[in-house]
Amino acid sequence: MEKKNLDWKHIGFAYHTTDYRYVADYKDGKWQEGYMSDSPNIVLNECAGIMQYCQEVFEGLKAYETADGRIVTFRSDLNADRMYHSAERMEMPPFPKERFIEAVEKVVKANEAWVPPYGSGATLYLRPYMYASSPVIGVKPAEEYQFRLFATPVGPYFHEGAKPITICVSDFDRAAPKGTGHIKAGLNYAMSLHANVTAHANGFDENLFLDPGTRTYVEETGGANFLFVTKDNEVVTPLSDSILPSITRRSLVYVAEHYLGLKVTTRKVRLDELKDFAECGLCGTAAVISPVGKVVDHGKEICFPSGMEKMGPITQKLYDTLTGIQYGKIEAPEGWIHEI
């Protein structure tokens, strides 16, 4: 299969229209048969539920070209599962998990020429989502929905790539206590835009959000979970019921324990503890593990000993092992890698 002629190393984290996407409609009380479409456009009623009350959920996962030229996906069953729960919380009919996985396979196969070559640092990002497509004017769930899944090649999420970033403690909250912080709904991201633009305007790469109930504990950023390393090489990840349960973070916890023999603790992490950690990273499908060099809390700088030049040593080991598994260079735990 001949690849598209893109400057793979410099595509950035941006949308490219690829050739085919998967579409399935929910109507008459059931999910209809899906189909592949060559059109990236959607025509909607002006009063569609998505337009008025933001009834939408989505996912993000990647397809990788391995060192030996295979194309694989990573733990897509967990994305299918998370989207199922996100839909339930948003009063939407969940999309069957086996059909989600089938749609991933179809879209990757149909867009094989868009899978970035091994070694380019880019991957094929997959964006499954579903939204309310029928009109609603009173506040209530819609009757009809559409599930879609498209692909776009992407480079690193942060421009710096593997260079540490600087983040600020946000004055805004991304989620509400007992709200929707734990599901992947577009409305959470709309909520985070003002905080994001404000952070960028002040020269920061991202926001650290605090727990919305007490503003004492570390939650996550707008698009990734935190992972810390203590001075005696213990991995610590924040516990909260208003953060997204990151598949990357759950995988890194497993890698830390079973591949690197490290102790891992998931617990509440106070903001005033950050100064005691040796390393800090952001983990997610888009972020992979992006090292954080500095957190700024209203002018007060917390600088991690790993510094602003490169990843800390444990973060690097976690990164190398996880990406080694994803690119087929290190044996994966049972069921993590699915060849297309």
Point out which residues bind ligand PLP (CB under 6 A).
60, 220, 223-225, 244, 246-249, 284-285
Q: Judged by CB, which is closer to ligand COI: 16, or 275? A: 16
- Report what 225 binds from ligand PLP, ligand COI, none; CB cut-off 5-8 Å by kind: ligand PLP
- Quick one: what does residue 247 bind among ligand PLP, ligand COI, none, with the CB cut-off 5 to 8 Å set by partner type? ligand PLP
What residue spans of 97-213 are helical by DSSP H? 97-110, 186-201
Cα–Cα distance for residue pair 154/125, rounded to 1 Å: 6
Task: List Cα–Cα distances, 113 to 21, 72, 295, in angstroms.
Answer: 14, 14, 40
80 binds, among ligand PLP, ligand COI, none (CB under 5 to 8 A by kind): none
**Nearer Cβ to ligand PLP (166/248):** 248
Please report whether residue 212 would count as binding ligand COI according to CB under 6 A: no
* 60 counts as binding ligand COI under rule CB under 6 A: yes
Min dist CB 288 to ligand PLP, Å, is 9
Q: Quick one: 161 exposed, middle or buried, by C-beta within 10 A (0-12, 13-18, 19+)?
A: exposed
- Which is the catalytic residue, given 3, 4, 62, 184? 184
Q: By the 8 A CB rule, do 38 and 23 touch?
A: no
**Residue 247 or 255 with smaller CB distance to ligand PLP:** 247
**CB of 180 within 8 A of CB of 86?**
no
Residue 153 interacting with ligand COI (CB under 6 A): no
Secondary structure of residue 132 in the 3-state scheme: strand
Which positions from 266 through 295 interact with ligand COI, judged by CB under 6 A? Answer: 284-286
**Which option in ligand COI, ligand PLP, none does residue 21 bind, with CB closer than 5 to 8 A by kind?**
none
Is 106 a known active-site residue?
A: no
**Between 76-89 and 247-258, two packed helices, what is the crossing angle to 10 degrees?**
140
CB 238 within 8 A of CB 283: no
Report how far apart, in Å, the C-alpha atoms of 223 and of each of 2, 190, 317 are: 33, 12, 22
CA gap 219, 240 in Å, rounded: 7
Size of the site for ligand COI (CB under 6 A): 5
Residue 116 near which of ligand COI, ligand PLP, none (CB within 5-8 Å, type-dependent): none
End-to-end Cα separation, the chain, in angstroms: 14
Q: Which of 223, 281, 293, 328 binds ligand COI (CB under 6 A)?
A: 223
Let me know: does 200 contact 168? Beta carbons within 8 Å.
Answer: no
Query: Footprint of ligand COI on this chain (CB under 6 A)?
Result: 60, 223, 284-286
Q: Which residues are the active-site residues? A: 184
